[in-house]
């Protein structure tokens, strides 16, 4: 197929003739942009959060994203809002929450704007704002030039303030605007309070440096160029949280009924220090609806079924977070529901006081429509540890009692951005021979998960010249997939085989993330230095004192093993000298070595082996170590020989062993009458 045909067709594409005059006419009225100086926010805040909006009238849609304010930006005392604004915010929150709230709004709300828009009949002033990373609440004042409070009918046509995250038509949702005053105050003004929300867009990975405040009469078509030029749209800066956490899929849906409104099974959560937002939809779910459905929204306080929130920690009993939303509480209970369709619902559950989310492992929610608690993992290490445990127990074929929390001392958060995916290295454990790690693949907006071209994440050790020599890696395993956005959590494992390039004692290795056809390097960030926890003694491979034959029943094969490595987690047996394998192992990350021959992994996985027993022969201990059956098995095929030549099997201990005082282990298998000694030191 010739691209010349494409060029011929494209040559016939021309912009409509009327556009020329439209553009040239517009230039006669366009003024250069003027912006206020940017005020850099706290480190870690980046530009460009994608948000959305529906404008016009009071039919608003709420979408959501959540954020995790660990350290809300410090307020500038000179910019602290007036006490009256703080009280308005407090009233606003408490009215919606239905219970007292002990937020420090003077810290949360660090900006006093005093942006003023003049209209024929009104003067509108934006006074103050609070932003928790997901929710943006603001106060504005309206002064009728007539000196009279507008009638109810007139209120629908007064200018209102919207907040946007960018000047482009990627906007905020204005979901709720309420009047604070029903009568004019002494200064001839009345006040309104508005609330905007981010979208729950999986691609939102950063927060904007600044927002834009827009004030206009209803019914005008949004035009950023024009609005910036005439002052309808103005850049503003607000305090921002440091981090923007992701949408969290609940372990199960939480069904809650908002009295007189609807019953919804919430599936996603967004947690900020100020509260939890639950939704039953994602950005992708509602995007098409937003373009096709009538905006038929309800927003405002409502009475929900009882929802109890507890916070849990990795170690220790769950602690009461002190928030229970139920019908017995005075002033109505939380339940702000925003929908643009009967199918979509959002519910906001504010905390009584700000929570330090960094200390909380998970939140546990229960409603009286659901007997079991639904968990929201905040500190993801728990779920990673569960993954590690599952992985070990699956391979071992029996429960293992490792302290994975101690083994997994590192939660990385290394992120690689590709065109189609965001890859995050989440956690890893290392026993000195094997590195197991978990990473997350998140398809970016508009891209379909293509398993054939997923980026790969591997671990390497590096020589002085930074040439990579990688251990043999398993194929990654999919361990979790989000129905919401196709996010995959993958588990992978690297094995230490290269004796010339041991894993450093300090655990400093390299994570390499590349697409299938991509080169790698330190300079472009595909290769990143990381540090994993290491055992105190790096295990070494020793020759066995005799050949150990193990019969793998399910494979009808008996393998002879002659080398052994002992780690606190288990024994690794091989039938080859790792140095020998290293000369054969070809790896794409290694410097080219002329005499290397690529060998292929021809079998790997769990094989049923005959019983293997391991006994600690140190007299001081003298106890048998339970290892169950051999489970994990690798065979590599040397193309030159045309047969499976190299074999590895792993015998995990039931619980970690303290090998400090153990000189050797004794292994016996029923395929061999004699036992074999595995030296440790």
Partner 1 sequence: MDQAQMAAVYDRLKDTVYRVALFYCRNVQDAEDITHDVFLVCFAHDAPFPDDEAEKAWMLRVTVNRCKNLLKSFRRKFSVSLDDAAQICQTQAEHDIWDAVNALPANYRVVIHLYYYEGYSVREIGKITGRSETAVQTQLYRARKLLKDKLGEEITP
Binding site for partner 1 (CB under 8 A): 1-10, 12-16, 19-20, 22-24, 26-28, 30, 32-33, 50, 52-54, 63, 166, 168-171, 199, 201, 203, 225, 287-288, 290-291, 418-420, 445-447, 453, 515, 517-519, 524
**Identity of the residue, 23 or 500, whose beta carbon is nearer to partner 1 in the bound complex:** 23
**Identity of the residue, 290 or 651, whose beta carbon is nearer to partner 1 in the bound complex:** 290
Strand order in the sheet with 632-638: 541-552, 557-567, 570-574, 643-652, 632-638, 600-606
The secondary structure element, H or E, covering residue 574 is strand 570-574
**Identity of the residue, 1 or 619, whose beta carbon is nearer to partner 1 in the bound complex:** 1
- Give the separation between CA 220 and CA 160, rounded to whole angstroms: 12
Burial of 564 (0-12, 13-18, 19+ CB in 10 A): buried
Question: Tokens for 477?
Answer: 């395993």
**Identity of the residue, 519 or 660, whose beta carbon is nearer to partner 1 in the bound complex:** 519
* Residue 52 Cβ vs partner 1, minimum distance, rounded to whole Å: 3
**Identity of the residue, 6 or 641, whose beta carbon is nearer to partner 1 in the bound complex:** 6
CB 364 within 8 A of CB 310: yes
* Residue 346 Cβ vs partner 1, minimum distance, rounded to whole Å: 15
Residue 193's SS3 state is: strand
- Give the separation between CA 204 and CA 213, rounded to whole angstroms: 20
* Residue 26 Cβ vs partner 1, minimum distance, rounded to whole Å: 6
- Give the separation between CA 565 and CA 633, rounded to whole angstroms: 15
Contacts of 57 (CB under 8 A, 6+ apart): 156, 218
**Identity of the residue, 286 or 460, whose beta carbon is nearer to partner 1 in the bound complex:** 286
Sign of CA dihedral 339, 344, 348, 349: positive
Sign of CA dihedral 352, 354, 356, 360: positive
**Identity of the residue, 52 or 349, whose beta carbon is nearer to partner 1 in the bound complex:** 52
Q: How far is CA 667 from CA 254, 549, 625, 650, 677, in A?
A: 51, 10, 10, 13, 6
Label the pairing between strands 468-470 and 456-462: antiparallel
Contacts of 12 (CB under 8 A, 6+ apart): none
* Residue 200 Cβ vs partner 1, minimum distance, rounded to whole Å: 11
Q: How far is CA 335 from CA 189, 263, 576, in A?
A: 30, 11, 65
* Residue 133 Cβ vs partner 1, minimum distance, rounded to whole Å: 19
**Identity of the residue, 296 or 583, whose beta carbon is nearer to partner 1 in the bound complex:** 296
**Identity of the residue, 43 or 448, whose beta carbon is nearer to partner 1 in the bound complex:** 448
* Residue 99 Cβ vs partner 1, minimum distance, rounded to whole Å: 33
CB 647 within 8 A of CB 550: no
* Residue 400 Cβ vs partner 1, minimum distance, rounded to whole Å: 40
**Identity of the residue, 3 or 186, whose beta carbon is nearer to partner 1 in the bound complex:** 3
CB 198 within 8 A of CB 63: yes
Q: How far is CA 143 from CA 38, 118, 181, 190, 664, in A?
A: 29, 10, 12, 7, 86
331 CB neighbour count, 10 Å cutoff: 11
* Residue 25 Cβ vs partner 1, minimum distance, rounded to whole Å: 10
**Identity of the residue, 283 or 325, whose beta carbon is nearer to partner 1 in the bound complex:** 283
């Amino acid at each position: 197929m010739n691209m010349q045909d494409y060029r011929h067709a494209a040559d016939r594409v021309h912009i409509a003739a009327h556009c020329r005059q439209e553009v040239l006419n517009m230039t006669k009225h366009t003024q250069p942009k003027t912006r206020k100086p940017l005020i850099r926010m706290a480190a870690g805040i980046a530009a460009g959060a994608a948000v959305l909006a529906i404008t016009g009238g009071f039919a608003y849609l709420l979408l959501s994203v959540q954020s995790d304010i660990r350290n809300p930006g410090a307020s500038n005392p000179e910019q602290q809002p007036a006490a009256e604004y703080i009280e308005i915010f407090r009233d606003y929150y408490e009215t919606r929450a239905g219970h007292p709230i002990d937020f420090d709004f003077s810290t949360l709300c660090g900006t006093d704007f005093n942006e003023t828009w003049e209209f024929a009949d009104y003067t509108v002033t934006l006074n103050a704002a609070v932003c928790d990373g997901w929710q943006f609440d603001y106060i504005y004042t309206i002064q009728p030039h007539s000196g009279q409070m507008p009638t109810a009918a007139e209120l629908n046509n007064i200018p209102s303030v919207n907040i946007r995250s960018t000047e482009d038509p990627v906007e905020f949702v204005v979901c709720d605007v309420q009047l604070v005053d029903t009568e004019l105050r002494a200064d001839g003004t009345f006040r309104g309070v508005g609330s905007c929300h981010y979208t729950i867009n999986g691609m939102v990975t950063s927060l904007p440096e600044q927002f834009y405040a827009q004030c206009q009469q209803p019914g005008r078509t949004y035009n950023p160029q024009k609005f910036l030029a005439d002052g309808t749209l103005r850049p503003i800066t607000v305090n921002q949280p440091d981090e923007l956490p992701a949408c969290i899929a609940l372990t199960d849906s939480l069904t809650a009924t908002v009295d007189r409104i609807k019953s919804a099974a919430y599936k996603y959560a967004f947690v900020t220090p100020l509260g939890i937002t639950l939704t039953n939809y994602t950005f992708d779910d509602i995007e098409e609806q937003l373009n096709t459905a009538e905006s038929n929204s309800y927003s405002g306080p409502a009475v929900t079924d009882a929802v109890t929130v507890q916070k849990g920690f990795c170690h220790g009993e769950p602690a009461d977070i002190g928030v229970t939303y139920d019908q017995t509480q005075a002033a109505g209970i939380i339940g702000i529901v925003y929908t643009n369709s009967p199918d979509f619902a959002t519910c906001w559950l504010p905390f009584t006081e700000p929570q330090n989310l960094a200390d909380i492992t998970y939140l546990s929610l229960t409603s009286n429509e659901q007997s079991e608690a639904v968990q929201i993992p905040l500190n993801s290490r728990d779920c990673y540890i569960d993954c590690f445990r599952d992985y070990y127990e699956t391979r071992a074929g029996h429960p293992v009692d490792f302290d994975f929390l101690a083994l997994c001392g590192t939660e990385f958060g290394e992120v690689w951005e590709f065109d189609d995916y965001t890859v995050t290295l989440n956690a890893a454990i290392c026993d000195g021979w094997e590195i197991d790690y978990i990473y997350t693949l998140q398809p970016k907006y508009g891209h379909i998960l293509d398993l054939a071209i997923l980026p790969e994440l591997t671990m390497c050790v590096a020589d002085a010249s930074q040439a990579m020599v990688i251990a043999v890696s398993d194929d990654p395993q999919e361990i979790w997939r989000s129905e919401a956005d196709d996010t995959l959590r993958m588990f992978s494992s690297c094995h230490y085989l290269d004796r010339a390039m041991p894993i450093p004692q300090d655990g400093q290795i390299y994570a390499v993330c590349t697409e299938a056809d991509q080169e790698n390097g330190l300079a472009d960030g595909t290769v990143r230095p990381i540090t994993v926890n290491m055992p105190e003694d790096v295990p070494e491979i020793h020759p066995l004192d005799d050949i150990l034959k193990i019969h793998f029943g399910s494979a009808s094969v008996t393998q002879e093993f002659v080398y052994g490595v002992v780690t606190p987690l288990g024994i690794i047996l091989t039938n080859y000298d790792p140095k020998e394998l290293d000369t054969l192992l070809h790896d794409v990350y290694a410097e080219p070595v002329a005499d290397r021959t690529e060998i292929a992994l021809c079998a790997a996985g769990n094989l049923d082996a005959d019983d293997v027993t391991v006994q600690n022969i140190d007299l001081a201990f003298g106890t048998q170590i339970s290892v169950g059956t051999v489970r994990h098995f690798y065979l590599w095929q040397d193309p030159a020989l045309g047969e499976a030549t190299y074999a590895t099997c792993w015998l995990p201990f039931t619980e970690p062993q303290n090998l400090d005082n153990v000189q050797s282990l004794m292994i016996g298998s029923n395929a061999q009458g004699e036992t074999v000694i595995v030296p440790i030191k």
